[in-house]
Amino acid sequence: GLKLGIYADLGTFTCGGYPGTTLDLVHQDAQTFAEWGVDMLKLDGCYSSAEEQAKGYPEMARALNATGRPIVYSCSWPAYQGGLPPKVNYTVLAEFCNLWRNYGDIQDSWSSVLNILDWFFNNQDVLQPAAGPGHWNDPDMLIIGNFGLSYEQSRSQMALWTVMAAPLLMSTDLRSISPSAKEILQNPLMIQINQDPLGIQGRRIVKEKSQIEVFLRPLSQGASALVFFSRRTDMPFRYSTSLARLHFPEGAVYQVQDVYSGQIISGLKTGDSFSVVVNPSGVVMWYLYPTALPAQ
């Protein structure tokens, strides 16, 4: 039941120096991948020009569709054009690609995770509207279970990628993965939130002087995911706020579930003050479900 993904490159060579898929080979390669039963294609952009990319990425989309086989199509196109308009047209991207790499490759380090996070949320006004069912921003792989992240940082990457509506691609040796990494990656509520049918990408809504940041992702049926994230490196921080301060509708009442601990808070009103304790480089993630909505 596993799916098969394959990597190719729209240039004379792949980034690793193997033969590339030049423009004259796009249709032949698409046909070959379909015959092999490939389910996903990642098409990189090393050793290709901007002109070749502008022709080749849409051409490969047409070629894959022509095979009649559903193949998820991951483009690296925007990453080679700096990731932002006017060089990148996200409307065009969404027409041809299912997901796309906007930015540089992730490395197995916390500083790399923060660098990607900053770029995505500093540019959220451009990137957030581009995402939706069938066309996603891809901040690159989860490095949970490798070597670079602590336990808290692993939980943070999972929560922040989920709130970003990121495709969840693991990059871990499953023969030696630790039970704690496995638990993070297989958290059922986390996956449910990530796969929410509305497919709305979340936004950073608060950036405090205390180095606490708050992210919000709207979900189907009036639910939401909130992530309280600490950039502090000293000690756990008690952060106090209310849903009213986070722009939730007045007069609503929510049931809250902590995504990691499973703890439930019932009857949280928009105006109620509450506190969360966030560990250094860690998160507290909430799933909020309305039990009473404000009178319209």
Which one of the listed residues 44, 138, 140, 196 is annotated catalytic? 44
Q: How many helices (H) and strands (E) does the chain have?
A: 9, 13
Q: Return the structure tokens found at 121.
A: 């949320």
Read off the DSSP letter of residue 100: E
Give the residue-averaged pLDDT of 130-148. 98
Q: What pLDDT shows up at residue 293? A: 80
Domain count, the chain: 2
Q: What pLDDT shows up at residue 200? A: 98
Last residue of a domain, one of 151, 176, 195: 195
- Convert the pLDDT of each residue in 253-264 to its tens digit: 999 999 999 999
Q: Are residues 170 and 131 in the same domain?
A: yes
- Convert the pLDDT of each residue in 206-259 to its tens digit: 999 999 999 999 999 999 999 999 999 999 999 999 999 999 999 999 999 999
Residues 6+ apart with CB under 8 A from 192: none
3-state secondary structure of 56: helix
Q: What is the CATH number of the domain that holds 9?
A: 3.20.20.70
Phi (first) and psi of residue 209, to 5 degrees:
-60, -25
Q: Are residues 222 and 109 in the same domain?
A: no
Q: Are residues 184 and 145 in the same domain?
A: yes
- Convert the pLDDT of each residue in 73-132 to its tens digit: 999 999 999 999 999 999 999 999 999 999 999 999 999 999 999 999 999 999 999 999
**In angstroms, rounded to a whole number, what is the distance separating the alpha carbons of residues 285 and 90?**
29
Q: Are residues 20 and 69 in the same domain?
A: yes
Q: Are residues 161 and 93 in the same domain?
A: yes
Q: What angle do CA 277, 179, 120 make, to 5 degrees?
A: 55
Q: What is the CATH number of the domain that holds 259?
A: 2.60.40.1180
Tokens 């770029």 belong to 119
Q: Are residues 187 and 232 in the same domain?
A: no
Last residue of a domain, one of 149, 166, 195: 195
Q: What pLDDT shows up at residue 169? A: 95
Q: Are residues 239 and 257 in the same domain?
A: yes
Give the distance from CA 173 to its chain's centroid.
21
Q: Return the structure tokens found at 74.
A: 């991951």
pLDDT band for position 294 (50/70/90)? confident
Q: Is 55 exposed, middle or buried (0-12, 13-18, 19+ CB in 10 A)?
A: middle
Which one of the listed residues 105, 108, 118, 272 is annotated catalytic? 105
- Convert the pLDDT of each residue in 2-21 to its tens digit: 899 999 999 999 999 999 99
Nearest CA to 193 out of 163, 167, 221, 172 is that of: 163
Query: What percent of the chain stands above pLDDT 70?
Result: 99
Q: Is 113 exposed, middle or buried (0-12, 13-18, 19+ CB in 10 A)?
A: buried
Query: What's the chain's average pLDDT?
Result: 97
Q: What pLDDT shows up at residue 1? A: 86
Q: What is the pTM of this model?
A: 0.97
**In angstroms, rounded to a whole number, what is the distance separating the alpha carbons of residues 232 and 114?**
12
- Convert the pLDDT of each residue in 21-47 to its tens digit: 999 999 999 999 999 999 999 999 999
Read off the DSSP letter of residue 132: B
Sheet holding 253-258, edge to edge: 203-207, 212-218, 224-230, 283-292, 253-258, 264-269
Range of the domain at 189: 5-195
Q: What pLDDT shows up at residue 296? A: 55
Active site residue 44: yes
Give the distance from CA 168 to its chain's centroid.
7
Query: What percent of the chain stands above pLDDT 90?
Result: 98
